[in-house]
A = this chain, B = another copy of it.
Amino acid sequence: MNRYEGQFESNDFPESIAPLEVEQKYRVESHEAVLKCLQAMKAIELPVETQCDIYLRHPCRDFATTGEAFRIRQVNDSAVVTYKGARLPGIVKTRVETEVALADKTDGEWLQILLALGFCEAARVRKRRRSFRISFRTETFTVALDTVESLGSFIEIEAIVTDRSSLSRIQKDILELAKQLQVDQVEPRSYLRQLLEQLQRNS
């Protein structure tokens, strides 16, 4: 019962120890060329996932301004909740990420609770994700080949970093790995941002 003795305030959130997500997204015409590169580099394929991300608006904080994100991700029959902090400085998108698996079939109840607390849905991002694990230089990266409903095809190169002293090296590795995969059309916007901009244009 004493796992968190002492009381936390919101500004005690231990940013400095939370894992960082370092990722770069690239727009591609198709996944074909990248797929050939990954196979040549002996990348290991992971199970394909159909993901539906329910992005939530905060009851009193504008995530578009703070750069944070909060979502429920449904993956096949399971679900996870993810909080992403504001973007940190660096040559590649880097932010605190806390992800927590939900107990079986509780995503509906969680959505109910979050709505009751004043969160509301911003949008749903639906995609098919084919992922590969690849060792490159001294690190392991995940390369995702995403086909996103209404948005098209993308590549994401990602690493989760717990040791902050290796951060700038890993950011450089990601850019170098992108070169090897022959992708160069950086897409700095999140899928959510792209989708909201598209909805706005079409309205």
Q: Which residues of B contact A60 (CB under 8 A)?
A: 59-60, 118
Chain A contact surface mostly: mixed
A111 lies within 8 A of B4 (CB): yes
Taken together, the copies of this chain in the complex come to 2
Q: Is A89 interfacial (CB 8 A cutoff)?
A: no
A61 → chain B, closest Cβ, in Å?
Answer: 6
The contact string, 1 if C-beta is below 8 Å from chain B, for chain A 1-15, is: 101100111101110
Q: How many residues of A contact B (CB 8 A)?
A: 49
> Given that A1-B126, A101-B106, A103-B101 are known contacts, is A59 also in contact with B10, CB under 8 Å in the complex?
yes
Could you show 5 A-B contacts with beta carbons less than 8 Å apart?
A4-B108, A13-B116, A98-B109, A98-B112, A100-B113
